Structure 1
Amino acid sequence: MKVERKGGSKNVPIFLLLHGTGGNEEDLIPVAREIYSEAAILSPRGKILEDGIAARFFRRLAEGVFDLEDLRFRTNELANFVNNASKTYGFDLQHVIALGYSNGANIASSMLLLRPEVLSAAILFRAMVPFVPNTLPDLSNKYIFMSSGLYDPIIPKQEAERLFSLFKNGGAKVSISWQNSGHELVMEDVKKAKESFYSSSLLSG
């Protein structure tokens, strides 16, 4: 796990960095620093090892097919981790922003649907619907930015749109940006995320 904190303000945004499959806790730090260099960072490594080597945040049965029981367990586990970290490091959950890519974006989406109280906002790169809850939570105080690839071979356009609709129906302030890319993260993702971050109210404290 990686923890970084700049300055003494308790109102600084805290990026919860959630890497993709096979990644680690260092992967998204440059992205976070580009979006907002003064943010604090909380960056865990996924506990699941796929094929014994590739770190993930929850199990999957096949490409795009999730182990829903494990997803729910890991979502609650991660939410509890964030809650405990807020007490350990003295930050307010109202300042926690999930920043996730692929598998990390999917568990962030799951947290928004299952444990929304631990996040104020989310920046989701290449996310898909993790599961559909029986009842949508109230997301009216959540800000969500999605960035998806028009030519993503893993997440079809309609799947990203379905997630967007879920968040919208929950009342979230959600926007989506489409990139001329596949599943890989590109510079335009970071540029659009930064623009969205600064145009939001996330820096108002």
Structure 2
Amino acid sequence: MKHIFQKGKSPSNPTLLLLHGTGGTEQDLLPLAELIDADANILSVRGNVSENGMPRFFRRLAEGVFDEEDLIFRTKELNEFLDEASEKYEFDRNNVVAVGYSNGANIAASLLFHYQDALKGAILHHPMVPRRGVDLPDLTGKDVFIAAGTNDPICPAQESEDLKSLLENASANVELHWENRGHQLTLEEVQAAGQWYKNK
């Protein structure tokens, strides 16, 4: 997978896995990493799927309708990439925190839904529920921050509430942060995520 890796202060520091939104690139979320943890390792990945020339992490059938088969395949692909990257770059595989926006937040949530040890935690900006009607692994000890917009036309408020409930039912610690905005990524929610991260 096309990516950028930047070494942090120490290999034992957390690694921030940056996952862009539809049409983004591995450059997009680098400024967020600075705000969240300037000492962390950074692994910023570009989605392997192209939708009308726009990079994404998995296919969709329509706006808000995921191609579940492709989602499962791409989630497995990303999890295996993390295994390989941790060996190549010598970062702690058990100390990876995903930071995702929109489509990137959805694949990060999918990692939590499918693989118990894929992530230590996650910051999800405007995510949706990746899959419904599936059993989640035991997520005890996993910390998740969800940032949502009350007027988000792409990601209805109920999606954020449902995702919080599903993760909490799997024993994750979840904080749901609301902004009175739409689907855009705001500085306020990034700062709130940074504050949450520092308190963990």
Whether the TM-score (by the shorter chain) exceeds 0.5 is yes
Q: Which residue pairs with 1:128 in the alignment?
A: 128
Contact residue 26 and residue 43 of structure 1 kept, 8 A: yes
Could you tell me how far apart the structure 2 residues matched to 1:132 and 1:153 are?
Answer: 20
Which contiguous aligned blocks of 4+ residues in structure 1 show a shift greater than 4 angstroms? Answer: none
* Partner of residue 26, structure 1: 27
Aligned-pair distance for 1:134? 2.7
> Which residue type is aligned with residue 199 of structure 1?
N
Q: What code does the residue aligned with 2:105 have? A: A
Q: Unaligned stretches of 5+ in structure 1?
A: 201-205
Local SS of the residue matching 1:176: strand
- State the alpha-carbon separation in 2 of the partners of residues 10 and 182 from structure 1: 37
Q: Which shows bigger deviation, 35-44 or 75-84?
A: 35-44
Q: Give, in whole Å, the separation in 2 of the partners of 1:36 and 1:117.
A: 21
Q: Is the 8 A contact 2:145 2:196 kept in 1?
A: yes
TM-score (norm 1): 0.94
Q: For 1:8-53, what per-residue CA distance to the aligned partner results, in whole angstroms no more than 9, with x for missing partners?
A: x2221100000000000000000111111111100110011101x1
Q: How many residues align?
A: 198
What is the 5 A alignment of 1:120-199?
120-199=120-199
Give me the CA root mean square deviation: 0.9
What 5-or-longer segments of structure 2 have no aligned partner?
none
Query: Counterpart in 2 of 1:4?
Result: 6
Equivalent residues in 2 for 1:8-157, closer than 5 Å: 9-51=10-52, 53-157=53-157
- Quote the Cα distance in structure 1 between the aligned partners of 2:77 and 2:117: 14
Q: Give the percent of matched residue pairs that are identical in Structure 1 and Structure 2.
A: 49
Counterpart of 1:61 in 2: which secondary structure?
A: strand
SS of the residue corresponding to residue 84 of structure 1 reads helix
1:62-83 residue CA offsets vs partner (Å, 9 max, x unmatched)? 0000000000000000000001
Q: How many angstroms does 1:88 deviate by?
A: 1.0
SS in 1 for 2:117: helix
Taking structure 2 as the reference length, what is the TM-score of the superposition? 0.97
Q: Secondary structure at the match of 2:94?
A: helix
Structure-2 separation of matches of 1:178 and 1:151: 10
Structure 1 window deviating more from structure 2 (112-121 vs 60-69): it is: 112-121
Q: Is the 8 A contact 2:22 2:54 kept in 1?
A: yes
Deviation at 1:133, TM superposition (A): 4.9
Deviations 1:157-194 (A, max 9, x none): 11110000010000001111001110000111111001
CA distance in 2 between counterparts of 1:6 and 1:141 reads 24
